[in-house]
């Protein structure tokens, strides 16, 4: 069977949804960051698929993906630093317990 654009889009959607699900329901803060990386992966697949099928000569989508990977690496580092500080203050990395940002 020939792979069309839609197949890749479905794959990207699936990856993204799983990532978002992980972000929203993880109890562990590090797990949230991992799920976020999964979402990035889904977005990347989406971009590359569009780049390949819509504008085959140009490498726009692939360039965009390289940038995403760079930025996500930096942001993961920063996120882990934040979790580190939170752990220092709350003695826990449990997302449900660090809910003091309210009235």
Partner 1 sequence: MIEFAVKNAWLVALLPLLSSIVITFLTRKSPVLSSRISRAFIFMALTLSSLICYEAVNDIDYVLQNSAGSLRWFTSGSFDFALSWKVDAVTAMMLVVVTLISTLVQLYSREYMEEYIHKGYSFSRYYAELSLFSFSMLLLVLTDNFLVLYAGWELVGVSSFLLIGFFFEKKSAPYAAKKAFLANRVGDFGFLLGILLIFTYTNTLNFDVAAAQIAAGKMTGGVLTLAAILTFFGAMGKSGQFPLHIWLPDAMEGPTPVSALIHAATMVAAGVYMVAKIMTIFAQATFPVLWGFNALDFIAAIGGITAIMAAFIAITQTDIKKILAYSTVSQLGFMILTLGMYSTEGGITPLGYTAGMFHLFTHAFFKAMLFLCSGSVIHACHTQDIFEMGGLRKKMPVTAITCLIGTAAISGAPGFAGFWSKDAMLDAIYEGNMFLFALAAIGATMTAFYMFRLYFLTFEGEYRGHGHPHEPGWRMKFPLIFLAIPSVLIGFVGTPWADYFKDFVHYTPVVKHATEHAAHHGPNWIVMGCSLAIFTVGTGLSFALYGKGDLSKSEALSLKMGGLFKASLNKLYIDEAYLWFIDKFVLAFAKASSLFDKFVIDMIVNVVSWACIGVAHFAKRMHSGNIQQYAMGVIVSVLLLIFAGTNYVYIAKQLPIYWVWITIGLILAVALSVLGYFGNLFKKILDSK
Q: Which of residues 58-97 bind partner 1 (CB under 8 A)?
A: 95-96
Give the residue carrying structure tokens 């977005």: 43
Q: What is the dihedral of CA 80, 73, 65, 47, to 10 degrees?
A: -10
Tokens, residue 67: 């940038």
Is residue 98 near partner 1 by the rule CB under 8 A?
A: yes
Three-class SS state of 84: helix
> Among 9, 11, 20, 59, which residue interacts with partner 1 (rule: CB under 8 A)?
20
> Among 3, 24, 81, 82, which residue interacts with partner 1 (rule: CB under 8 A)?
24
Distance CA 52, CA 13 (A): 17
Tell me the window of 1-9, 23-31, 37-45, 55-63 that interacts with partner 1 (CB under 8 A): 23-31
C-beta separation of 49 from 61 below 8 A: yes
Task: Name which of 57 and 103 has its Cβ closer to partner 1.
Answer: 103
Binding site for partner 1 (CB under 8 A): 20, 23-26, 32, 95-96, 98-103
């Amino acid at each position: 069977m020939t792979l069309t654009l839609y197949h890749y889009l479905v794959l990207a959607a699936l990856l993204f949804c799983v990532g978002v699900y992980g972000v929203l329901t993880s109890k562990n803060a590090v797990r949230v960051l991992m799920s976020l990386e999964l979402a990035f992966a889904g977005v990347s697949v989406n971009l590359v698929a569009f780049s390949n099928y819509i504008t085959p000569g140009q490498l726009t989508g692939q360039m965009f993906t390289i940038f995403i990977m760079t930025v996500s690496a930096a942001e993961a580092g920063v996120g882990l630093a934040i979790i580190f500080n939170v752990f220092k203050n709350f003695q826990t990395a449990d997302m449900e317990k660090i809910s003091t940002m309210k009235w």
